[in-house]
């Protein structure tokens, strides 16, 4: 089923790859998240969630700015 969708629209996989790879590359290069420091799936999931949260907060600070973000958090 998945292969059929990919064959029908090969551009979708390329677009998805371009969209998804940027955040992971940024986390790996800039945030030092080259490998997980914990063991067991729940701990790794928590570590990944924290990395994604840090990435998203950094993006919001760059897009919106720190002062508007702090105002939104305080509200």
Per-residue confidence of the chain (75 residues) as pLDDT tens digits?
788 888 888 888 888 888 888 888 888 888 787 888 899 999 999 999 999 999 999 999 999 999 999 999 998
Contact between 51 and 33 under an 8 Å Cβ cutoff? The reply is yes
Residue 75 three-state SS: coil
């Amino acid at each position: 089923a998945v292969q059929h969708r990919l064959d029908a629209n090969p551009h979708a996989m390329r677009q998805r790859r371009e969209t998804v790879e940027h955040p992971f590359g940024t986390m790996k290069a800039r945030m030092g998240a080259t490998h997980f420091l914990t063991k067991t799936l729940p701990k790794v999931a928590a570590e990944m969630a924290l990395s994604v949260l840090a990435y998203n907060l950094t993006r919001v600070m760059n897009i919106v700015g720190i002062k508007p973000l702090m105002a939104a958090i305080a509200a």
